């Protein structure tokens, strides 16, 4: 057993009694009430999910295991000579809540490299798909195709105690995480780089290996580490995390569960917004003369987009009420590495102009940029101009958080999720003073 798995097991044993005590002694304590607005309006703000992996404060933004993004970046072990921490050390941290030592981190790097071979049939399936298939469909299919590898599914079928569920779930999740960077890079090289596949390197960490397989020189390895970490999790309620958790709650294995999450990520109001941002910026750019637009031209273009009933992609959020710290982390990277990049100048200009327009427009509760407003520029700078690929990059990162969550879901024995629905008739009767006797 690796140090990480042993440590995780200890943490699980210690944590179970906390969940059990809450259920035993405080089961009926009310923590929230639900309004008709929330019921019809996407369950906003209803506190009905538990995760210790991350927490999203509307004003402060995300904390992973209690740490802000800058704290996470500065406190986790760094790849020698690089600006950002090992993704593998971050995985250790998300699973256990403990900052790993360099030795513990390198053990995960080695463990992942032993798990990383992508089965040939997955490659065959990807190659059989029409090349104009959206890369998110390919990515999702690649993960789902591997379901036959599920150790959880095999052990469950053979008969297993509930308290042991977390163990094969952990194995499946590590196998998936070790393989998906290679699947993503394979899709990229096959689809956009004339099928010139680059085999994985040996003994490289996820960031370095991903950059290598994409065929992009340094510092793209650091860009990959940084973007995978910041995209990993945004607490449990967002579509991709919730979909993964929901499907896993039926004891579906990690392959089925993650695929569900990735499919949710592919919605334009969620992860696909990063491709939409680039599509929209390209339109702005070309419509306004193939150069960085003036503030007035940009203002006019934003109003035109809003008046035609479309959203400004990359702006607004269901929970956040300030500039997304993930946007700021990306901006900081851009300031160091892309300061004279034209696209970055356009993104900065949008940041200067769009929030006040959205406030004046008066609809969006959050007029500030989210992560998707800035992420594409980084990839574009490194030559990934095929922006429909960007959500796949988000997906590799998102897998880290949602897989950590479903391991803990299994460890704590969370039950199958099943909220109660009601009819419009019932709501109307209750809203007009009827009693709740349904």
Query: Is there binding between residue 238 and ligand HAX (CB under 6 A)?
Result: yes
Output the smallest distance, CB 18 to ligand HAX, in A. Answer: 30
Tokens 């406190």, residue?
75
Output the smallest distance, CB 241 to ligand HAX, in A. Answer: 10
Tokens 């702005």, residue?
284
Number of H helices and E strands in the chain, helices first, is 20, 2
Burial 4-21 (b: 16+ CB within 10 A, else e): bbebbeebbeeeeeeeee
Shorter beta-carbon distance to ligand HAX: residue 88 or 366: 366
Cis amide bond preceding 219, omega within 30: yes
Query: Is there binding between residue 264 and ligand HAX (CB under 6 A)?
Result: no
Site for ligand HAX in 302-341 (CB under 6 A): 306, 311-318
Interacting span for ligand HAX (CB under 6 A) from 105-113, 151-159, 361-369, 377-385: 361-369
Output the smallest distance, CB 357 to ligand HAX, in A. Answer: 9
Distance CA 23, CA 187 (A): 45
| 437 annotated active-site | no
CA-closest candidate to residue 327, choices 258, 428, 226: 226
Tokens of 348: 């900065």
Tokens 């958080």, residue?
401
Query: Is there binding between residue 370 and ligand HAX (CB under 6 A)?
Result: yes
Output the smallest distance, CB 32 to ligand HAX, in A. Answer: 18
Shorter beta-carbon distance to ligand HAX: residue 89 or 395: 395
CA-closest candidate to residue 243, choices 49, 95, 391: 49
Q: Are 41 and 436 in contact (CB under 8 A)?
A: no
Q: Are 392 and 247 in contact (CB under 8 A)?
A: no
Output the smallest distance, CB 194 to ligand HAX, in A. Answer: 30
Interacting span for ligand HAX (CB under 6 A) from 103-111, 132-140, 217-225, 269-277: 269-277
Distance CA 436, CA 438 (A): 6
CA-closest candidate to residue 125, choices 105, 103, 146: 146
Query: Is there binding between residue 364 and ligand HAX (CB under 6 A)?
Result: yes
- Beta pairing partners, 375: none
Q: Are 227 and 397 in contact (CB under 8 A)?
A: yes
Is the Cα torsion angle 166, 167, 169, 170 positive or negative in sign? positive
Shorter beta-carbon distance to ligand HAX: residue 36 or 117: 36
Query: Is there binding between residue 12 and ligand HAX (CB under 6 A)?
Result: no
Output the smallest distance, CB 369 to ligand HAX, in A. Answer: 8
DSSP 97: S
First to last CA, the chain: 52
Query: Is there binding between residue 241 and ligand HAX (CB under 6 A)?
Result: no
Tokens 């703000």, residue?
45
Shorter beta-carbon distance to ligand HAX: residue 315 or 351: 315
The active-site residue out of 221, 222, 324, 372 is: 372
The active-site residue out of 78, 270, 379, 381 is: 270
Shorter beta-carbon distance to ligand HAX: residue 65 or 398: 398
Query: Is there binding between residue 13 and ligand HAX (CB under 6 A)?
Result: no
Q: Which residue is nearest to ligand HAX (CB)?
A: 316
Residues 6+ apart with CB under 8 A from 378: 223, 227, 330, 333, 334, 338
Shorter beta-carbon distance to ligand HAX: residue 46 or 311: 311
Query: Is there binding between residue 365 and ligand HAX (CB under 6 A)?
Result: yes
When binding is defined by CB under 6 A, the residue of 366, 387, 390, 392 that contacts ligand HAX is 366
Distances (CA, A) of 143 to 57, 103, 133: 31, 30, 16
When binding is defined by CB under 6 A, the residue of 104, 171, 372, 409 that contacts ligand HAX is 372
| 270 annotated active-site | yes
Query: Is there binding between residue 270 and ligand HAX (CB under 6 A)?
Result: yes
Distance CA 24, CA 375 (A): 44
| Chain centre to alpha carbon of residue 78 | 22
Output the smallest distance, CB 268 to ligand HAX, in A. Answer: 7
Site string for ligand HAX, 33-62 (x = CB under 6 A): ------------------------------
Output the smallest distance, CB 154 to ligand HAX, in A. Answer: 33
The active-site residue out of 231, 242, 317, 381 is: 317
| 172 annotated active-site | no
Output the smallest distance, CB 298 to ligand HAX, in A. Answer: 15
Count other C-beta atoms under 10 Å from residue 124's C-beta. Answer: 10
Residues 6+ apart with CB under 8 A from 317: 324, 366, 368, 370
Shorter beta-carbon distance to ligand HAX: residue 216 or 273: 273
Residues identified as active-site: 270, 317, 372
Interface contacts to ligand HAX, rule CB under 6 A: 238, 269-271, 273, 306, 311-318, 363-366, 370-372
């Amino acid at each position: 057993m690796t140090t990480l798995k042993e440590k995780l097991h200890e943490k699980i044993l210690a944590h179970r009694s906390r969940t059990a005590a809450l259920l035993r002694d405080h089961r009926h304590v009310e923590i929230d009430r639900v309004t008709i607005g929330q019921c019809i309006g996407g369950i906003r703000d209803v506190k009905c999910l538990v995760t210790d992996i991350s927490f999203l404060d509307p004003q402060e933004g995300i904390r992973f295991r209690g740490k802000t993004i800058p704290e996470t970046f500065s406190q986790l072990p760094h790849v020698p000579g690089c600006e950002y921490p090992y993704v593998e050390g971050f995985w250790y941290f998300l699973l256990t809540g403990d900052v790993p030592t360099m030795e513990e981190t390198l053990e995960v790097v080695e463990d992942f490299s032993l798990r990383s071979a992508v089965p040939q049939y997955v490659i065959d399936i990807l190659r059989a798909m029409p090349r104009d298939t959206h890369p998110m469909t390919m990515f999702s299919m690649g993960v789902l195709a591997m379901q036959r590898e599920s150790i959880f599914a095999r052990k469950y079928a053979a008969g297993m105690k509930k308290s042991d569920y977390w163990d094969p779930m952990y194995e499946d999740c590590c196998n998936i995480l070790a393989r998906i960077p290679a699947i993503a890079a394979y899709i990229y090289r096959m689809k956009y780089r004339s099928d010139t596949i680059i085999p994985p390197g040996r003994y490289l960490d996820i960031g370095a290996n991903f950059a290598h397989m994409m065929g992009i020189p340094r510092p793209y390895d650091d860009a990959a580490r940084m973007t995978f970490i910041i995209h990993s999790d945004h607490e449990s309620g967002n579509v991709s995390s919730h979909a993964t958790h929901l499907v896993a709650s039926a004891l579906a294995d990690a392959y089925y569960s993650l695929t569900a999450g990735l499919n949710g990520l592919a919605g334009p109001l969620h992860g696909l917004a990063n491709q939409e941002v680039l599509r929209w910026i390209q339109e702005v750019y070309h419509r306004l003369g193939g150069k960085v637009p003036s503030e007035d031209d940009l203002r006019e273009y934003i109003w035109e987009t809003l008046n035609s009933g479309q959203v400004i992609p990359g702006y607004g959020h269901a929970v956040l009420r300030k500039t997304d710290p993930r946007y700021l982390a990306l901006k900081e990277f851009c300031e160091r590495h892309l300061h004279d990049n034209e696209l970055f100048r356009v993104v900065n200009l949008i940041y200067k102009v769009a929030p006040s327009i959205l406030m004046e427009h008066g609809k969006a509760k959050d007029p500030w940029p989210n992560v998707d407003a800035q992420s594409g520029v980084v990839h574009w700078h490194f030559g990934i101009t095929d922006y429909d690929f960007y959500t796949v990059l988000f997906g590799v990162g998102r897998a880290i958080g949602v897989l950590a969550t479903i391991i803990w879901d299994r460890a704590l024995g969370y039950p199958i999720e099943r909220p109660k629905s009601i009819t419009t008739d019932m709501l109307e009767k209750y809203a007009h003073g009827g009693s709740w006797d349904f």
